[in-house]
Amino acid sequence: MKTVSQTKAHGGIQGVYSHPSAVTNCEMTFAVFVPPLAEGAKAPVLWYLSGLTCTHQNVMDKGEYRRLAAELGLIIVCPDTSPRGDDVADEPDNWQFGKGAGFYVDATEAPYSQHYRMYSYILDELSGLIATEFPAADMNRQGIFGHSMGGHGALVMALRNPDRFKSCSAFAPIVQPSTADWSKGAFEKYLGAESSAWRDYDATRLIENGHRFAEFLVDQGDADGFLENGLRPWLLEEACNAANIPLKLRMQPGYDHSYFFISTFMDDHLRWHRARL
């Protein structure tokens, strides 16, 4: 692991790091905020997954999480959204696919299966790296949240790994990507034409298949331009109601899909996770 940068913030350290990944077969970059802690103390780990077109940098610059994370004693890990590099297959003119749009799946279709394995990268490789390189990280207390495509990723990872993640929330998640206008095309390219294979990366379908999680918090702006065709939080609400999964869905009047929305409710989500970790 290489240290790209380290900066003091609110008594803690905001770092950016890189490493060669054996899972995505390229160099990966990620960010970690470690709050001020007593020597030898450990802190819960909260993963933040970013949305389409983003990297680890977006939430670092605009998410406004460090002040309260320092106060609450939360380690915040921000992975990238996809593999990077000249050798990574991409569609430069398609913002809904390729670099910046890994959708947190393990691709099975060539040529994408060589690099686009963000699900295993985060759950296995990066998680192991955090455990090894950050001794303050209490890997027995992990939560996960994210925005849009990252909200989709957080819901899926929580539902498929309820023993690892103790809390899960999302900002404007893509709750049923297998049918959403801006994700089903990517699913077909990454996972093949047989849509039954897509269910493993679709929160509503996972719930239908019997996967469960203790509870979810979701914030959604009602002025979000992607609400009707991309996000559709009512589908998650229907699935959770049918499965008796507690869901706190808050429709926020006047808010859109931007980081102005995310930063407004970031404190609520950090407190939600801290109470459960």
Annotated active-site positions, please? 148, 224, 257
Structural tokens at position 216: 């979810």
Look at the alpha carbons of 201, 206, 212, 216 in this order and tell me if their dihedral is positive or negative.
Answer: positive
Q: Containing H/E element for 247? A: strand 247-252
**143 contacts 164 by C-beta, under 8 angstroms:** no
> In degrees rounded to 5, what are phi and psi of residue 9?
-150, 125
**Cα gap 191→184, rounded to integer Å:** 10
Q: Which residues pair with 142 in a beta bridge?
A: 45, 165
Q: How far is CA 180 from CA 34, 65, 71, 97, 275, in A?
A: 36, 29, 38, 14, 33
**Cα gap 229→252, rounded to integer Å:** 18
**113 contacts 107 by C-beta, under 8 angstroms:** yes
